[in-house]
Amino acid sequence: MGEFGIGQPVRRKEDVRLLTGGGEFTDDINLEAQVYAAFVRSPHANAKIVAIDALAARSMDGVIAVYTGQDLVDAGVGVLINDASYTNRNGKPMNKPVRQVMPVAQTRFVGEVLAMVIADTPAQARDAAEAVEIDYDVLPAIASTAHALDKGAPLVWPEFGENLIVHWEYGDKDDVEAKLAAAHTRVRVDLVNNRLIVSPMEPRCAAAEYDAAADSLTVYTPSQGGRRLQMMLARNLLKMAPEKVRIISRDTGGGFGIRSKMYPETVMVAFAARKLARPVKWRGDRSETFVSDYHGRDQINVAEMGLDANGRASVLKVETLLNVGAYLSENGVRLPMEGGGRIIPCMYDIPDFYFSVKPMFTNTICTDTYRGAGRPEANYIMERLMDAGARALGLSREEIRRRNFITESQMPYKTHLGFTLDSGDFDGTMQMALDAADWNGFEARRAESASRGKLRGIGLATFIEGAGSRPVEGMRMRFEENGDVTLFAGTYSHGQGHDTVYAQLVNEFLGVDFDKVNLIDGDTATSPETSNGTFGSRSSMVGGMGVKRASEAIVAKGRKIAAHLLQTDAERVVFENGIFRAQSSSVTLAEVAAASRDASKMPEGMALGLDETVVFENDVENFPNGAHVCELEIDPETGILEILNYIAVDDCGVVLNPFIVHGQVYGGVMQGVGQALTENVVYDASGQLLSASYMDYGMPRAAHMPMIEALFNIVPAKTNELGVKGAGEAGACGAPPAILSAVGDALSHIGVSHIDMPLTPERVWRAIQEASVKAA
Amino acid sequence: MHNFNYHRAADVADASGKLTSLDDPKVLAGGMTLLPTLKNRLAAPSDLIDLAGIADLKGISVEGNEVVVRAMTPHAVVAASAEVQKALPALAQLAGNIGDPAVRHRGTIGGSVANSDPAADYPAGCVGLDATIVTNKRKIAADDFFLGLFETALEAGEVITSVRFKIPERACYMKFRHPASGYAVVGVMVAKYGAKARVAVTGAGPCVFRVAEMEAALEKSFAPASVADIKVSPEQLMGDIHCSAEYRAHLITVYARRAVEAMV
Ligand SMILES: Cc1cc2nc3c(=O)[nH]c(=O)nc-3n(C[C@H](O)[C@H](O)[C@H](O)COP(=O)(O)OP(=O)(O)OC[C@H]3O[C@@H](n4cnc5c(N)ncnc54)[C@H](O)[C@@H]3O)c2cc1C
């Protein structure tokens, strides 16, 4: 292992470019003679569209066109698809509405795009958008997750007669309830998993250019990999051949799950560019990002667990309500089942399980994948249950976990909904966290805080994830004449540091200089045919293994060429550190690459070139896990909470670059801190978004960031040869339950039994007030 | 943003003249409030009159028993001023806790005071420290200046030139930052002038206000216990999705007591 190989804390090679303004985000791209789009958005959460009058707008200065939903219908543009398919136990399929790119007859959430204006300048487009007059017939709306399934609630889609999308179930409800009733101890938690605004730094953006002669379209947009967008745009929406549609994302300012989706505005920009045969550009502003980017989370969970006298849990019931918003987004509806469900009961061996999920429509923007995508919600449920169980039985929080962990001897371990866990040292990982946090010395610190009038608490959360989803991915490696190696990846680095990590892998496997490896991604014209993109912490495994497979194929080919050059047999040639050797003679990889371009130097019958395109395919994901400990202090008079210490121990398998993994941990923890402490989307009863700017939405600031000690307990994954497990989502899984556990610890001493996220000062203060009123 | 004409005023008279002669003009100071308003298309003035070039409007001095901060002085300068830190440390502390570093380097005292944002910090500083707001036309006592939600005694054509703070024996400003915006949910300035006391509260109500009952109690006995049980009724306060009126009322008492604790 060299200075730049696997496991080295190599500095990110992309950082100098990004930090010195060398990034090329979509808004940095300007196409010749481009015109600008602006959108007319619905001010109502639910309303019939009676008429759209664009006459005045069309006659304004610089206005080129105004399009409405009807124009799309007339032009034969397709609809936004969702391919989920769930059924109720009685056989009735899920309710699936048609989602038009811009609705013609009715709008169903505030911020929905209803018309598009194209003009010579952005200001003219905006002025004209304000002049588009829409006559609405306003209807009652419903935004609340808790009440959308109530009898008499306004219906988002009246044709279904209900807001419920499907009642999906797993397990035997009667049996589980009987076992819960018979259990020695039964605990229950009622939880709200708060809705979040995802807030990538870069607002949504699109620019599109149409080449009429070739009938081909190029769309620039932030993304998490363009292939799916290309397929959707070509096949479903604009009805073009996929090879005629190219998606380019140079740099993307944060993905977090929501940037992998196809949004109406992107379709519209592409549509207009084709229709007008002129480049069209749109950059959304922050306010548009708030109302029209997909939101995250938004579940209500009621969960019960039955335990024996020794604290062994044997039965679990989880009932989940999920707010998916006004439409079915691409993945929103799947998250409790396929995101979280497959991992429940998380790290614990609980044989009996009933799971009920009720996704619902409301008059809000859709929810969809957000850092962790269902797994943070699942872990949150299990960790709150374990803390409740510990309290009910008078066990310590670490002991109840220890008694219920799935052990290494039980692996491979099949979860109820179909994951097979291959590896993990859950007890050892937890112990590392407890030791690093001086868990046993806590009571002295609690007493010290109490002497200053403060309530101190310490919290523990363990968690597991499934990472590396859709484990199929292509990778292409090309040798340049100057000795450089270029990788063409279908994964797409939008902050993760693939330029660095893939270069480390090429350095490790082929001995090519770290600085001579270049990555090209984010372009459907150059990425391998099989490319899914970057999400769900998959790139280390699928991209990393792609580099490994390509390297292996290149070494195999290279040995034949080297044998020919060295006049020996391929079997006698060994490859090490970039050099092919046979006894005392040798030839470098660069020399072999050069020879491979020259037919006279190649063995007979061998095709020219050393380049390789491979497809890595796996049956299974990998299972990162960890244990976090959080210590904090509460000012009981104000409810203000301060995190004093944060320990994150992660088992993300073999660590390719600790520097980069630490970055992932810090970022994930910070997003978890945001969910736990400050972030919350609030709609009023009429469906207006009240938390529609950073003046009202509690985005965590640098000052909220605790000092984090990030440690590893490396247990190599058995599901891939690199031994890697995902690292991106761990922090967001661990932080909310660790913080809530600490607050529970600080406040249970004064009689607070329940509190929900986000832990705003007022919420904490009220919980303390109510407990002291009860105590009095 | 809508189009507007931009003018760089040569001096206060020039600014004032343009303010009265032009169609729908607005003064531009640090732009920290005005520019986002324009960008969000919530205002469309015909003309912006920039005060940034007027040297007379910058700087800090101590004159007799007053600290004088000229209108275009940014918050960061007030916070870092050795003179202010010495003569009136509570004011330096207040300025140093406004917003974030970028805002503190652009936002000015004149802009803040003219805006009368209910959640801004300076209004509590002005009223609590018995300040005089000086304009190109007159002098206005802070008590008479802040009239309501974004409403002040300023008249058309009037430009704030400086704010004169009366130096107290002691003073302390305590702020509870809004979980989202960082502005004051409750900001309490307590000041002691001989036998007199002032307690000014910003953030909690539609406009900065004094708490007469607390002032009277402190004038009897300047001690934390004097204010510890005095409650402001939530009925006159504001609430939002983060902090209810009831919670703000509670915080006023806590922060007033803590301010006094820090002073004795
Ligand atoms: C992110 C952010 C966070 C903030 N946090 C806080 C906070 O925590 N506490 C706080 O108190 N403030 C806060 N502010 C406000 C900031 O402190 C500025 O004080 C405020 O924006 C106004 O000052 P300005 O110089 O930017 O004025 P401008 O935005 O230029 O002007 C504001 C208004 O005052 C008028 N005006 C300006 N100068 C004069 C003058 N000399 N005479 C007459 N009228 C005038 C203008 O016409 C305009 O109507 C924050 C602002 C931002 C953007």
Q: What is the 3-state secondary structure (H, E, C) of chain B?
A: CCCCEEEECCCHHHHHHHHHHCCCEEEECCCCCHHHHHHCCCCCCCEEEECCCCHHHCCEEEECCEEEEECCCEHHHHHHCHHHHHHCHHHHHHHHCCCCHHHHHHCEHHHHHHHCCCCCCHHHHHHHCCCEEEECCCEEEHHHHEEECCEECCCCCCCEEEEEEECCCEEEEEEEECCCCCCEEEEEEEEEECCEEEEEEECCCCCCEECHHHHHHHHHCCCHHHHHCCCCCHHHCCCCCCCCHHHHHHHHHHHHHHHHHHHC
* Spatial contact of A307 and A172, defined as CB atoms under 8 Å apart: no
Using a CB-CB cut-off of 8 Å, the residues of chain B touching A701 are 100, 182
Read off the tokens for B247. Answer: 């919670």
pLDDT in tens, A699-721: 999 888 999 999 999 999 999 99
- What spatial distance separates the first Cα and last Cα of chain B, rounded to whole Å? 50
Share of chain A above pLDDT 70, in %: 100
**Interchain contact, B181 vs A696, CB within 8 Å:** yes
DSSP category for residue A320: E
A685 touches chain B (CB under 8 A): no
Mean pLDDT score, A206-221? 98
Q: What is the mean pLDDT of residues B36-52?
A: 95
Check residue A435 and give its pLDDT. Answer: 98
Q: Which residue has the tokens 């009961």?
A: A345
Enumerate long-range contacts of B75-78, CB under 8 Å, 24 or more apart.
B75/B99, B75/B103, B75/B104, B75/B105, B75/B107, B75/B108, B75/B109, B75/B112, B76/B101, B76/B104, B76/B105, B78/B109
CA nearest B40 in A: which residue?
A287
Asked if residues A425 and A623 have their Cβ atoms less than 8 Å apart, the reply is: no
CB B187 within 8 A of CB B207: no
* A539 contacts A491 by C-beta, under 8 angstroms: yes
Structure tokens at A700: 């965590």
Nearest to A762 among B41, B180, B243 (CB): B243
Residue B163 near ligand 1, beta carbon < 6 Å: no
- Bridge partners of A357? A168, A320
Residue A296 main-chain phi, psi, to 5 deg: -120, 160
- CA B29 – ligand 1 centroid, Å: 8
Per-residue pLDDT tens over the stretch B216-264: 999 999 999 999 999 999 999 999 999 999 999 999 999 999 999 999 9
Cα-based distances in Å from A505 to A3, A413, A483, A484, A509: 12, 30, 17, 14, 6
Considering only the beta carbons, identify the residue of A130, A637, A761 that sits closest to B179. A761
Residue A394: CB partners within 8 Å, gap ≥ 6?
none
Q: Are the C-beta atoms of B131 and B163 separated by less than 8 Å?
A: yes
* β strands within A340-471, DSSP E: 352-361, 413-414, 420-421, 455-464
**DSSP readout, A182-232?**
HSSEEEEEEEEE--B----SSPPEEEEEEETTTTEEEEE---S-SHHHHHI
pLDDT score, position A638: 97
Mean pLDDT for the stretch of residues B156-170: 97
Mean pLDDT for A29-53 is: 98
Please report, for chain A, the start and end positions of each structural domain, with discontinuous segments joined by +: 15-21+470-617, 31-139+199-292, 373-467+622-775
Identify the CA nearest to A321 among candidates A145, A452, A460. A145
Give bridge partners of residue A476 from the DSSP assignment.
A488, A613
Chain A hits for B254, CB-CB cut-off 8 Å, are 637-638
- Res A470: pLDDT: 87
Interatomic CA distance for residues A343 and A335, integer angstroms:
11
pLDDT at A773 (0 to 100): 85
Task: Provide the pLDDT confidence category of residue B2 given band limits of 50, 70 and 90.
Answer: confident
State residue A456's pLDDT score: 98
Task: Dihedral sign for Cα B96, B99, B105, B108, please.
Answer: negative
Closest Cα in chain B to A684: B241
CB atoms A699 and B240 under 8 Å: no
State CA A217 to chain mean position distance.
28
**List of domains in chain B:** 5-50 (3.30.43.10), 58-263 (3.30.465.10)
In this complex, do A638 and B182 lie within 8 Å of one another by their Cβ atoms? Answer: no
CA dist., res. A564 & res. A379, Å (int): 57
pLDDT band at B1 (very low <50, low <70, confident <90, very high): confident
In angstroms, what is the span from residue A218 Cα to ligand 1's centroid? Answer: 44
pLDDT of residue A217: 98
Q: Is residue A47 very low, low, confident or very high in pLDDT (cuts 50, 70, 90)?
A: very high
The bridge status of strand B66-70 relative to strand B60-63 is antiparallel
Q: How far apart are CA B111 and CA B116, in angstroms?
A: 9
Pocket test for ligand 1, best of B1, B6, B18, B33 (most atoms within 8 A of CB): B33
B203 lines ligand 1 (CB under 6 A): no
Whole-angstrom distance, CA of residue A166 vs CA of residue A87 = 7
Residues B172-185 pLDDT 10s: 999 999 999 999 99
Q: What CA–CA distance (Å, rounded) separates A690 from A532?
A: 36
Contact A696 B250 (CB under 8 A): no
Nearest to A638 among B176, B183, B242 (CB): B176
Element (H, E) at A381: helix A375-393
State which CATH number among 3.20.20.300, 3.40.190.10, 3.40.50.720, 3.30.365.10 fits the domain covering A373-467+622-775: 3.30.365.10
Q: Which amino acid would we find at residue A459?
A: G
Q: Is the CB of residue B105 below 6 angstroms from any atom belonging to ligand 1?
A: no
Across the A/B interface, how many CB contacts are shorter than 8 Å?
A: 50
- Average pLDDT of chain B is 97
Q: Give residue-wise pLDDT tens across range A393-416.
A: 999 999 999 999 999 999 999 999
Question: Is ipTM beyond 0.90?
Answer: yes
Cβ proximity of A144 and A681 under 8 Å: no
What is the secondary structure of A474-525 as a DSSP string?
A: EEEEEE-TTS-EEEEESS--SSS-HHHHHHHHHHHHH---GGGEEEE-SBTT
Q: Is residue B96 in contact with ligand 1, taking CB distance under 6 Å?
A: no
**pLDDT tens string A92-126:** 999 999 999 999 999 999 999 999 999 999 999 99
Of the residues B26, B98, B208, which should be mutated to test ligand 1's pocket, given the most ligand atoms within 8 Å of the CB?
Answer: B98
Task: Sheet with A63-68: list strands edge to edge.
Answer: A63-68, A113-119, A35-41, A280-283, A205-211, A216-220, A245-248
**Number of residues that make up chain B:** 264
* CA–CA separation, B177 and B99 (whole Å): 9
User: Residue A709 has what pLDDT?
Assistant: 97
Instruction: Note whether A761 contacts B: Cβ–Cβ < 8 A.
Output: yes
Q: How far apart are CA B176 and CA B119, in angstroms?
A: 11
Number of H helices, E strands in chain A: 18, 28
Q: Answer yes or no: are the C-beta atoms of A255 and A373 closer than 8 Å.
A: no
pLDDT band at A164 (very low <50, low <70, confident <90, very high): very high
Task: Name every chain B residue with its beta carbon within 8 A of the beta carbon of A130.
Answer: 41
Q: Reply yes or no on whether the pLDDT at A775 is more than 90.
A: no
Alpha carbons A295 and A370: distance in angstroms, whole number: 8
User: pLDDT-derived band of residue A770, with 50, 70 and 90 as boundaries?
Assistant: very high
DSSP type of residue A554: H
Select from A311, A339, A335, A313 the least CA-distant residue to A325: A335
Pick A31-139+199-292's CATH classification: 3.40.1160.10, 3.30.200.190, 3.90.1170.50, 3.30.70.100: 3.90.1170.50
CATH class of the structural domain A15-21+470-617: alpha beta
Q: Which residue of B has its CA nearest to A689?
A: B241
CA A72 / ligand 1 centre spacing (Å): 45
What's the confidence (pLDDT) of residue A2?
76
Question: Which of B42, B241, B243, B248 would best serve as a mutation to test chain A binding (most A beta carbons within 10 A)?
Answer: B241
Contact B109, B129 (CB under 8 A): no
Are A31-139+199-292 and A373-467+622-775 the same fold in CATH? no
- Average pLDDT rounded to a whole number, residues B112-123: 97
Coil, strand or helix: which one is A28? helix
Q: Are strands B47-50 and B5-8 parallel, antiparallel or unpaired?
A: parallel
The answer, as to whether pTM is greater than 0.90, is yes
Cβ neighbours of B262 (radius 10 Å): 15
CA distance B107 to chain A (A): 17
Q: Please state whether B182 falls in left (phi above 0), alpha (psi between -120 and 50) or beta.
A: left
Per residue in B127-156, is it b (16+ CB within 10 Å) or e — as a string? bbbbbbbbbeeeebebeebbeeeeebbbee
Identify all chain B residues contacting A691, using CB atoms and an 8 Å cutoff.
180, 241
